Structure 1
């Protein structure tokens, strides 16, 4: 539900549906509603007997519309979810195309996608049949009510309740009102679909984060010493509340100290960084910065004083320049290039045809893993934060680039900064003060 792909799809597709509903369909609904009200008022002034007959047909038309929506809701349920699953199969295959090709899994992917499409086709067929039946029935009721109105008009003229010209005028007014009333309900499949999209979009907009991102009343100290302490921490991820990742965990890192954390996969090493960055709050215990609970600090202020080198370097689909100054947009050209030199990235960047203005494609597809890692390190160097967090920074880098990246990391952790380093390689622990296993 909260995966990036799902949220992106909901925002892209559902937001488009909502825009179409508000820009077109809502205006039609308002226009027709006012037309019905005006027509009823005119009809009552012309002749109350025929107006009562027309009013008597309104419940029938309304019930018809409600029944149609309920009928369609039962058949349309799940089609949007099926489209989402089919899209995810295709997106995963395109994103991981090298792996798909390497394992000759193209036919398997096509078969999975075909199965998803067959389910959509089957459900859409029944959905279309339901739409046709419901729409036909609603049209039958519409014309049946119109026929009743015509018969009542003729009866009123025959019995002398009104003259022919007035009767024809009133019949035309109520016929217009009837069609104006049913027109929005004739769009029930469209409105129903957009209503679900509207709910989906506003669920995201109205979602209240459990961790307040910008509490102005929270602490924003002028200086950070960098002392970090975990006090009897218990933690489990919200998606797996039954699995306790950290239990009664305690750790203290003095300001300016470099600490290496090692351990087997799944032991909770990366969770330590997630708790320091306050991506999550612990279930029990406290995480302290300079003796104060992290919850007391303004979240934006807190993260502005931390530099993060992630396990998988995050590269944006723009120029190398924009990727580096992402950490500090007001940085000068000289500061940016100095950060790249410290990260051992300046040489390979300068050798590119457009240098720092080179576009590197979606997620840095034009670069090697080692080059992406060095750009990520340059970004952290430019930020110049007093706390450095490094999560297995060289575990996925090709051997020929490992030495260059290692030199960049060694330079990064030097100086009077608090550094927490998570790694498997012994080479990454040469300059640490303490090691926690």
Structure 2
């Protein structure tokens, strides 16, 4: 039986793999330390991305900042009906939890009145007993300290009623405690469960959105910044939509309940306590707004620094080779400087706001106690018809106080929610973005057969990051089915750009690219790339087994098909010689394999889908002569029966091409076979002659 290789455990979707199998990947961006010789043309404008991004107009920056703040509806946009039910129950129980605290102080006020009443009864009974004793002139001194039996009975009866009242208060506290226990468990557990469910879908949606973006979009991004979004920003969003929401609502409910009870029991005292509340409200509102702004800007700074760190770590060998550690540390420190300044400003502002808030609150409390004493005095003078009882003053004071403190308690949780809005702005904008070239778009033509007839008609093109530099100018090309066509020319002439356009990584600014007479824009992108195989100068292998790397070309294939593709690529013999054979892990980016071995695995991956079009982008230029011979033999086999486009650095490898196109400044200047072009003694002749001389000099030096 044939063994089927499924890629379910590989985190890269097929669409993502195809993008990665092109020339670029999400996390493998070229280092500033080292650029390939074709970098000037293939990645035109790529190395100036930072300048383009940072050099935008002020209006663009303001628009970008505004776009980076998500709405509350966006934060909860991935919630299902079940999630919404959990959130609703969590919010209601959070309100119950919050309202329970003021209720405790209502009981506390009633209990205080009971204590006061009991004390007054004791004092009254003692006073009546003494008056009765001293009122009888015949009373002896021995009877002064003795209460009558009737007085003792009255005191005992009063104590029994007092004890019963205290028992009732104790039971009420226990009942409230049990209710709070259940409410707390439900509101935290339900909100956190809903949060985990939403975050799981959000992470998948964000990663899917990243993989469906077109290459032109990636040219404007920093891969490290996207990784930061995927990790840190999503974690902040998770914090802002989970139990923090319940805690914020709990404190807000505590605030509302406290003030409602305060107004019901004594609106005058409540107003006195609230006299300084407008100042507190202004401080809280200003704090929230500034914190949200600082958090969004701070996240942007950290994302930029994270991109720099990832770029350095991904190219650590090159950095060490050139002793660039100190320079990179300095650059990283400079990148962190902006976030440090923002963090310091945020800390200073937060400390000042919280300190000033506490000052205002305690001033309000002092004023409340002073006014409360006048209310108690009025209560006593009017026999309870006016003013407030001692217990009433305590109830109102503590209800309003705990309500006020609840605002302070809600502040960090509200800050987490505002931070989630700031962090989620870019995340949701990427998820909602509709790329002009969407690899997941199911629409488009899917012809039953592919001839491989490719035409470029009057193509003009400039890379998105350098729109002012035309790479192709009125470019025309006609490639017949089954032909092997070679593209040669100096660096930056447009060779690799043609490879990118055929895969529809970009759309031309003007003109049409046709496959079998059909515009590429009308074809289904997934189908198009499924009929194209590519082998690039620097093959990209993932940290999985050799078999799974080959199977990335066509998921779900059998082991026999994998081995057949490896044999066509001259890779089967060296793979079989490995201790674990096709199950050998290649390491990060194929670090466990040599350059020639990686290239042959990449060829097998391209051939396993049996493509009608084969693109060879300087596939042997980075290899030594021995490895080049083996790989070139594999490429010669691969070209049979396919339309093949070869971008060559070593011109000796294309002498057997059916047609050679010589490019200069984005235009075709010479066309023909090798011998014809050599006889013309034009640009192609000069390139071949110069390369022959250089190779001869290298050979002489090695000898």
CA distance in 1, matches of 2:362, 2:240: 27
SS, match of residue 421 in structure 1: strand
**Deviation, structure 1 residue 410:** 0.8
Specify the alignment match of 1:176 in structure 2: 402
Specify the alignment match of 2:254 in structure 1: 35
Cα distance, 1:141–1:434 mapped onto 2, change above 3 Å:
farther
8 A Cα contact 1:214 1:298, kept in partner: no
Residues 1:62 and 2:297 are matched in the alignment: no
Specify the alignment match of 1:136 in structure 2: 355
SS, match of residue 489 in structure 2: coil
Specify the alignment match of 1:346 in structure 2: 572
Residues 144-183 of structure 1 mapped to structure 2, 5 A cutoff: 144-159=363-378, 160-183=386-409
Specify the alignment match of 1:282 in structure 2: 508
Residues 1:22 and 2:241 are matched in the alignment: yes
Residue among 328, 332, 342 paired with 1:109:
328
CA distance in 1, matches of 2:253, 2:656: 76
Please say which of residues 7-16 and 140-149 is displaced more in the overlay.
Answer: 140-149
Residue among 495, 518, 521 paired with 1:292:
518
For structure 2, list consecutive stretches of 5 or more residues without a partner in the other structure: 1-219, 379-385, 663-703
CA distance in 2, matches of 1:75, 1:330: 48
8 A Cα contact 2:501 2:508, kept in partner: yes
Cα distance, 1:247–1:167 mapped onto 2, change above 3 Å:
same
**Deviation, structure 1 residue 412:** 0.9
**Deviation, structure 1 residue 403:** 0.8
Cα distance, 1:2–1:110 mapped onto 2, change above 3 Å:
closer
Residue among 316, 326, 347 paired with 1:97:
316
**Deviation, structure 1 residue 12:** 1.4
CA distance in 1, matches of 2:439, 2:275: 56
SS, match of residue 327 in structure 1: coil
SS, match of residue 132 in structure 1: helix
8 A Cα contact 1:390 1:422, kept in partner: yes
SS, match of residue 394 in structure 1: coil
Specify the alignment match of 1:7 in structure 2: 226
SS, match of residue 286 in structure 1: strand
8 A Cα contact 2:319 2:325, kept in partner: yes
Cα distance, 1:236–1:54 mapped onto 2, change above 3 Å:
farther
CA distance in 2, matches of 1:379, 1:435: 26
**Deviation, structure 1 residue 296:** 1.1
Give a deviation string over 1:196-217, Cα, whole Å, max 9, x none. 2122322222222122334434
Residue among 646, 650, 654 paired with 1:421:
646
CA distance in 2, matches of 1:197, 1:103: 36
Give a deviation string over 1:136-161, Cα, whole Å, max 9, x none. 22333343444455555445444433
8 A Cα contact 2:612 2:643, kept in partner: yes
Give a deviation string over 1:212-269, Cα, whole Å, max 9, x none. 3344342122222221111111111111111111111111212222211111111111
Residues 332-411 of structure 1 mapped to structure 2, 5 A cutoff: 332-411=558-637
8 A Cα contact 1:261 1:422, kept in partner: yes
For structure 1, list consecutive stretches of 5 or more residues without a partner in the other structure: none
Residues 1:432 and 2:651 are matched in the alignment: no
Cα distance, 1:124–1:215 mapped onto 2, change above 3 Å:
closer
**Deviation, structure 1 residue 90:** 3.7
Residues 215-254 of structure 1 mapped to structure 2, 5 A cutoff: 215-254=441-480
CA distance in 2, matches of 1:226, 1:436: 18
Please say which of residues 300-309 and 89-98 is displaced more in the overlay.
Answer: 89-98
CA distance in 2, matches of 1:156, 1:145: 16
**1 or 2 for the larger relative contact order (CA 8 Å, sep ≥6)?**
2
Cα distance, 1:155–1:286 mapped onto 2, change above 3 Å:
farther
Name the one with the larger helix percent: 2
**Deviation, structure 1 residue 187:** 5.0
CA distance in 1, matches of 2:432, 2:644: 37
Give a deviation string over 1:174-208, Cα, whole Å, max 9, x none. 22221222222245665554432122322222222
8 A Cα contact 1:75 1:130, kept in partner: no
CA distance in 2, matches of 1:153, 1:200: 52
8 A Cα contact 1:320 1:360, kept in partner: yes
| TM-score normalised by length of structure 2 | 0.58
8 A Cα contact 1:394 1:405, kept in partner: yes
- The RMSD of aligned alpha carbons is 2.6
CA distance in 1, matches of 2:293, 2:553: 50
CA distance in 2, matches of 1:115, 1:216: 45
Give a deviation string over 1:269-303, Cα, whole Å, max 9, x none. 11112111111111111111121211111211221
SS, match of residue 533 in structure 2: strand
Residues 1:197 and 2:197 are matched in the alignment: no
